Homo-oligomer: A and B are copies of this chain.
Amino acid sequence: MTPAQLSDLLARVRKNHPLVHHITNYVTVNDCANITICAGGAPIMADAIEEVAEMTGIVGALVLNIGTLNHDQVESMIAAGHVANEKKIPIILDPVGAGATRFRTETARRLLEELDITILKGNAGEIGVLAGADGKVRGVDSAGLTGDPIAIAKAFAASSGLTVAVSGPTDIVTDGRRVLLVENGHPMMGGISGTGCMAASVTGAFAAESDDPVQAAAAALAALGIAGERAAARSRGPYTFKVALFDELSLLTPAEFGAAAKVRSI
């Protein structure tokens, strides 16, 4: 992605304030709402079966996050997902903790089977589990996977027909043909709860304004990563970092974004 493409995409998000419908966990939901606003989007959280289909019908993207899944919420994800698929609204799936319990693994697989997911964003362990590549998950944290993560993500994206985004020190985004690597970010992002969930929310906002899921995901991860780099320079510990992370994403201009993003294709 060129700096101009990155700048343009952020500028569109900031101008159009795309609605991003979240069906997500109750742990980091407030962080997801605020980071969506800081990116330029407008968050909506709704998970009642009575309204999810109608709500999804009006939005720019749908984010599904299984961080505290339960039976009713999964049914709402399916119902909302069908509407998103009909209306060509991009769906971002964050399979939080896939591999930690059978319920999470099977739910993530079910969502991938029943819905046309646009972007699957997870850590290396979660993606490894879903790709059948011996991923290891400790609670909701990655404990790595066996093999080359780029090759695994690429093969999984190609076979499943979706864009795969693997978060890590270097983020990997691939649709099976193209591979973009994102080298923005800071280790302090791993020192608070919720940065993974936030990355999915920002990806939702960007995907709503882009026809290219690979570019949308890479740009989103770069934007949050740059905010993390800037926040780390201003913080005393993990929570001043968290506070600064929101500020810095909000203050990031399209021009600064194009200049600071480290996105390269391989």
Contacts and interface: CB of A to CB of B under 8 A. Distances in A.
A183 interface: no
Interface stretch (A1-9, A167-175, A239-247): A239-247
A27 interface: yes
Q: How large is the interface on A (under 10, 10 to 19, 20 to 34, 35 or more residues)?
A: 35 or more
Contacts of A42: 138-139, 141
Interface in A166-195: 191-194
A44 B37 CA distance: 26
For the complex, would chain A's binding face be called helix, strand, loop or mixed by DSSP majority? mixed
A244 B138 CA distance: 28
Contacts of A43: 139, 193
Q: Which of A28, A46, A104 counts the most B-chain CB atoms under 10 A from its CB?
A: A46
A243 B246 CA distance: 12
B37 A238 contact: yes
8 contacts: A19-B139, A30-B193, A42-B139, A45-B68, A46-B101, A54-B101, A58-B138, A59-B139
